[in-house]
């Protein structure tokens, strides 16, 4: 039978919580035209001339504050997720490939080739489709496969923003925290508005129609903001929440361009002024905990909320290697493999 394998791709992380390692990681990350999609000369001027001169020194201590004994949290949790998935898939090899940093996508592909994989599932660990994450990861994997001159049968996992295999574990991770007069904030990773507008195939829907993110159209089938809203609505429906008991926001802005709004900073300032016993934050764009959840949300946003008069705040961990999520991920993978007939080798 054809030997199947899975490459689980995540965004990546510095190798060490040092200024130089962070600088090396950011250089690779921010020079990707799918991340900062401005003309190359301007991108290099912005990244090399400004960001890399200041940002590594600022955020290296942030990485230090969350670093685990085993290494970077994002790498540790992604590897645990991958190992757990491989066990549940009864021998189908699974490898990690980070879009930036290590272990690289190239290394993951080489390991799978060594294991005799002939049918390869490329699985970006991003529930909501975006140019800066999903597209960039798939482009990188395709480029590496070409350079390796390896031609397995390729499948793509695709986005799964409102699939029950993802939504049900997400709901389970939230519901035990929902008690009393609480408010649930869905904080997604931000994107420049230019990325979102470009995904509108019609040019007539994105931010031109009232509640455009809540309405499903062919024009926004690949829209990140629409996918974020679909995740939010699927979760709030299963939790039975009223519209007044939840909010949506976007975090992790970088640079002077216009980004998706409202920002998480803005929203927590507003919520701090309301009579809420407990603010609960979930970040569904991330499947594994890393800098954006452990430091930005659980330290920076927590401090910002308290500074503006907010009370109790709880940040819910990402799904990581939770058993119900691994079961859900296994379901997604098996379903994708089942779309092709099993062929004799």
Q: Could you report the average pLDDT of every consecutive run of 10 residues in the chain (345 residues)?
A: 95 98 97 92 94 96 98 98 97 96 98 98 98 97 98 98 98 93 96 83 65 78 94 98 96 82 96 94 98 98 97 97 98 92 44
In 3D space, the residue among 337, 246, 264, 343 whose CA is nearest the CA of residue 300 turns out to be 264
What pLDDT score was predicted for residue 208? Answer: 63
Alpha-helical segments (H) within the chain: 19-30, 40-46, 52-66, 73-88, 105-114, 136-148, 164-175, 193-198, 224-239, 264-272, 302-307, 323-337
Q: What are the backbone dihedrals phi and psi of residue 181, each rounded to the nearest 5 degrees, phi first?
A: -85, 80
Distance CA 255, CA 194 (A): 13
On whether the CB atoms of residues 323 and 107 are closer than 8 A, the answer is: no
Alpha-carbon torsion, ordered 68, 69, 72, 73, to 10 deg: -40
pTM of the predicted model as reported, rounded to 2 decimal places:
0.93
Q: Give the pLDDT confidence score for residue 117 in this predicted structure.
A: 98
Q: Which of 214, 156, 168 is nearest to 337 (CA)?
A: 156
């Amino acid at each position: 039978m054809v030997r199947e394998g899975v490459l689980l791709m995540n965004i990546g992380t510095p190798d060490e919580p040092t200024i130089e390692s962070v600088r090396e990681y950011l250089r690779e990350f921010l020079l990707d035209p799918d991340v900062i999609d401005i003309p190359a000369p301007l991108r290099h001027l912005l990244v090399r001339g400004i960001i890399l001169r200041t940002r590594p020194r600022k955020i290296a201590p942030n990485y230090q504050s969350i670093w685990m004994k085993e290494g970077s949290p994002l790498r540790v949790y992604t590897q645990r997720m991958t190992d757990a998935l491989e066990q549940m898939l009864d021998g189908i090899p699974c490898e990690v490939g980070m879009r930036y940093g290590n272990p690289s996508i190239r290394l993951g592909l080489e390991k799978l080739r060594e294991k005799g994989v002939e049918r390869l599932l490329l699985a970006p660990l991003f529930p909501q489709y975006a140019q800066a994450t999903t597209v960039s990861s798939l482009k990188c994997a395709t480029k590496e496969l070409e350079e390796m001159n390896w031609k397995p049968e390729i499948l793509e996992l695709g986005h799964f923003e409102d699939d029950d295999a993802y939504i049900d574990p997400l709901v389970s991770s939230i519901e035990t925290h929902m008690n009393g007069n609480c408010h649930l904030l869905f904080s997604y990773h931000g994107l420049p508005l230019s990325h979102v507008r470009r995904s509108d195939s019609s040019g007539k829907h994105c931010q031109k129609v009232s509640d455009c993110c809540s309405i499903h159209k062919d024009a926004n089938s690949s829209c990140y903001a629409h996918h974020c809203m679909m995740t939010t609505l699927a979760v709030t429906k299963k939790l039975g929440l009223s519209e007044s008991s939840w909010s949506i926001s976007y975090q992790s802005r970088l640079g002077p361009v216009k980004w998706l709004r409202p920002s998480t900073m803005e929203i927590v300032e507003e919520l701090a002024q309301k009579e809420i016993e407990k603010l609960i934050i979930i970040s569904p764009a991330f499947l594994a905990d890393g800098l954006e959840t452990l430091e930005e949300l659980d330290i920076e946003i927590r401090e910002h909320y308290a500074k503006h008069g907010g009370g109790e705040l709880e940040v819910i961990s990402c799904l990581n290697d939770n058993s119900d999520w691994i079961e859900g991920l296994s379901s997604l993978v098996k379903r994708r493999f089942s779309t092709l007939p099993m062929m004799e080798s």
